[in-house]
Structure 1
Amino acid sequence: MTARVGVVTFPGSLDDGDAARAVRVAGAQPVALWHDDADLKGVDAVILPGGFSYGDYLRCGAIARFAPVMAELIPAAESGSLPVLGICNGFQILCESHLLPGALTRNRSLHFINRQQRVRIESAGTAWTGGYSSGQEILVVLKSGEGNYVAAPETLDDLERTGRVVARYEGGAPNGSQREIAGISNEHGNVVGLMPHPEHAVDELTGPSADGLGFFTSVLAHATASAPVPAGPG
């Protein structure tokens, strides 16, 4: 059975189409989810894409956290049963939902960043990074104005101690993120927030590389391995 990966569109989402394409390239079936959907339509995983949900009018991700679609997503993610990837604005939504600790603030330069970015995968133990090797470097896209990850020192220490730093910027964090953090996970490893955009790097013809495809093939493999085995005859 083909894995079904939901891609949520909020008013102001920009990268939902690219996220759906990345899911398709990986061999899974993208399922469109709207911000006011009452349920998740039985998907195997969910992507919260980049953009400016609800125009970022209050604070990045703060309004989207209360969207109807989050009512089912949050408890499923907290339980560890639902893999969720938040990319850029999606990462901000995960932090606002308290599914991940810390916050994303204005870039240190106070300027929007749009560049190719080398990232080092620190943890291959999540549902979204199982296809990578720890220490592997990938080339993806970074484009954000509020991508500066901050957290209390004890939170940062806990993330390091428990292996929940998923990715770091190579050559220093261009946005000022503490400890060069580009992505983190929750305790179960099913929820990952990532500031760079792997969905823009799934095809060398249209992106800087195809290095980002591993996030989407990883969750496909995870969903396949987690699927119940059909009962045999008898």
Structure 2
Amino acid sequence: MSIVPVDWNVVVPGAWNIAILTPEGIAKRLFQLESNKLVEIQVPLEQQAPIRVVYNDITVVPSNSRLVIAPNDPTPDGLDKAASICIQGIQSLPETPMNAAGINLRFKIDSLPEELLELLTMSLDEKLSDANYSIVGKVMKRSITWNEGILNIEIHQSEDISGFLLFNFHRSSTKVEELTTWLSRSSGMITLTKELLNSMFNLKLEGDDDE
């Protein structure tokens, strides 16, 4: 069964200075653009939501608590580019207090296969149903070690049988060198994710040639 990649991103929690990460600051420090280069600025309707700065199919969303960088198209090349830009941002602002770095790979499934539905079924479901509670969503999570960090694998089911899988590669650290090394492994993370999708869940990315 094929699944669709959605909403891949790179996240670095920390005490980011949004007075520095203005559209101009992002263009200079992250995208490394000359002052005459233009970037797209998206201002959300919600007053408290952060701005979004877009250039070359990469979106940067800065806030006081985290820096999020995402490829507009969730592809391996796009994620590698987003990770490289995030590394540039970390290295250009090493004085920023940071505590972790993460890469998130999400995959949408219109109809969860029977194997995944069985994994999400517990005796608790029957007890809740017997007590006249309606189950509107299910989540299963496992965390495994990978290199110096953790890979969190989550299976989500909506009220129907649609859902998504999340592969979160998380590294806790306050050191710039360790965080940038972690993010530089984005290609390996994608390779491992594809292997696990195939071997553990019998799933493959939509468009992959191998049957």
Name which one, 1 or 2, has greater alpha-carbon Rg: 2
Q: Which has the higher contact order (CA 8 A, sep 6+)?
A: 2
Q: Same fold (TM over 0.5)?
A: no
Normalized per residue, the structure richer in strand is 2
Q: TM-score, normalised by structure 2?
A: 0.29
Q: TM-score, normalised by structure 1?
A: 0.27
